[in-house]
Amino acid sequence: VLDFSDPFSTEVKPRILLMGLRRSGKSSIQKVVFHKMSPNETLFLESTNKICREDVSNSSFVNFQIWDFPGQIDFFDPTFDYEMIFRGTGALIFVIDSQDDYMEALARLHLTVTRAYKVNPDINFEIFIHKVDGLSDDHKIETQRDIHQRANDDLADAGLEKIHLSFYLTSIYDHSIFEAFSKVVQKLIPQLPTLENLLNIFISNSGIEKAFLFDVVSKIYIATDSTPVDMQTYELCCDMIDVVIDISCIYGLKDDGTGTPYDKESMAIIKLNNTTVLYLKEVTKFLALVCFVREESFERKGLIDYNFHCFRKAIQEVFEVRMKVVRSRKHQSHMQKNKRPTPNGTPRMPL
């Protein structure tokens, strides 16, 4: 657990809270996204009865703590220090079961958001309208519109119109939960504009239709270019990562079982039957670039590879700057702690 008194801790590793009523699907979301659990296996998960904290440190870009809260949490319980919890939070994800009566969930959402905003106005409030796989397309839109309207009306009635809520339709049975989590995580990445700009430069000079920068472990895309994201394109990219990692785990290791299934040699080309090529290249130990390329553009593969080399070098520079910032903040935090007096009033000796 982070030292909450450390002014640099929230910048080094932001915190994401998963909140909502019991059985709304919070733990299932966490297991499917970050533990590769099959959606069908989540049916056997027990209810969460205490706060579960987990470090997600797959790369320096996807690097945060995720806290899964039990649905019966009581904000008025004196043992629940909500100020301490909300103070270090980057995003609060509130999960609403779309197949249930959501009036109680909306009341809890309003209480949670108003409490959190008073403590930390910089929190990103993300609403997952979950389990939409059981609804028709029309019912999905109607449910989202109704929840959006009611939630914002409640805030307006309390004089809190300036609080912004983001809404997502999600299900663990398709890729919508990964896309929603991608959008949440992107808001916590300070380098996002730089990454998007690099991707825009890369695709415009390479004749590429669309490019995603993926975290290969979680299948969260931490950045994409400025062209709109098509759900089908995103699903194909996710499936490609699964194929590459699965095959590498079988055939990519050495005879003695050593090595890693994903390394600097990792690369894959999949030609689809609609004259489109999917092209995957390793960027860092945890990141992959997945591109959509027209077959005629892919004939200039040498140009694409050269531009990718430049792109990869730029990403590594961003990565190095990030690590320097983290180390600098940790050093400053350490120095500040050493300057604080000991309980008997004498100054601390530097270590």
Q: Give DSSP secondary structure letters for 267-283.
A: EEEEE-TTSEEEEEEE-
Of the pLDDT bands very low, low, confident and very high (cuts 50, 70, 90), residue 264 is confident
Give the residue among 122, 108, 107, 117 at the shortest CA–CA distance from 160: 117
**pLDDT at residue 259 greater than cutoff 70:** no
* pLDDT tens digits for range 189-230: 888 899 999 999 999 999 999 999 998 878 889 999 999 988
279 pLDDT above the threshold of 80: yes
Check whether 4 has a pLDDT greater than 50: no
Is 26 exposed, middle or buried (CB count within 10 Å of its CB: 0-12, 13-18, 19+)? buried
Number of C-beta neighbours around residue 183 at 10 A: 15
CA distances for 156 relative to 123, 149, 161, 164, angstroms: 18, 10, 5, 11
Buried b or exposed e, range 122-143, using 16+ CB within 10 angstroms: ebbbbbbbbbbbebeeeebeeb
d(CA 157, CA 149): 12
Nearest 5°: CA angle at 179, between 130 and 156? 55
Q: Are 28 and 45 in contact (CB under 8 A)?
A: yes
Q: What is the mean pLDDT of residues 288-314?
A: 93
Please give the share of the chain, as a percent, with pLDDT higher than 90. Answer: 46
- Looking at the chain, the domain(s) classified CATH 3.40.50.300 span 15-188
Spatial distance between the Cα atoms of 46 and 23, rounded to a whole number of angstroms: 9
Architecture in CATH for domain 191-325? 2-Layer Sandwich (3.30)
Location of each CATH 3.30.450.190 domain in the chain: 191-325
* Domain 15-188 CATH (choose: 3.40.50.300, 3.40.50.1000, 3.40.50.2300, 3.40.50.10260): 3.40.50.300
d(CA 274, CA 272): 6
For 177-193, how does the pLDDT look when each residue is reduced to its tens digit (9 = 90+)?
A: 999 999 999 998 888 89
For residue 308, give the nearest of 320, 295, 293, 323 by alpha carbon: 293
Give me 130's structure tokens.
Answer: 């979950």
Mean pLDDT of the chain: 84
DSSP, res 129: E
The answer to whether the pTM exceeds 0.85 is no
Residue 247: which residues within 8 A CB-CB, separation 6 or more?
none
d(CA 254, CA 214): 25
- Residue 160 is given by DSSP the state -
Range with the poorest average pLDDT among 34-38, 172-176, 258-262, 277-281: 258-262
| Residue 47 tokens, joined | 């209810």
